[in-house]
Amino acid sequence: MEPNTIKELIEAGIEHCEAQVNGDGSHFDAIVVGEVFEGMSPLNKQRTVYATLGDRITSGEIHALSIKAYTPAEWKRASKLQVS
């Protein structure tokens, strides 16, 4: 699977979010920024992103996915600190 395909799936599944995805075909890193994450725990943020990928993870099509999910305010702070 291509990183751009995962990016499109995440952005289609989470309204008004932006995603950056990098990877090698089976292992991926995603940064997802959206208002939807406001008030969510880190675990619920990850569950929200995983839900957009359906059975692609359980089937093994995506072997590993590291997710960092932020609200826009959190991302602004993280960007200033050069955290990704």
Domains of the chain: 3-75 (3.30.300.90)
pLDDT of residue 81: 76
Higher pLDDT, 82 or 45: 45
45 membership: H or E segment, kind and range: helix 42-51
69 membership: H or E segment, kind and range: strand 64-70
Higher pLDDT, 26 or 1: 1
Q: Give yes or no for residue 82 having a pLDDT over 80.
A: no
Work out the percent of the chain whose per-residue pLDDT is above 70.
Answer: 96
CA 2/CA 81 separation, integer angstroms: 29
DSSP codes, 24-43: SSSEEEEEEEEGGGTT--HH
Tell me the mean pLDDT in the region 8-26: 94
User: Which amino acid is located at 18 in the chain?
Assistant: E
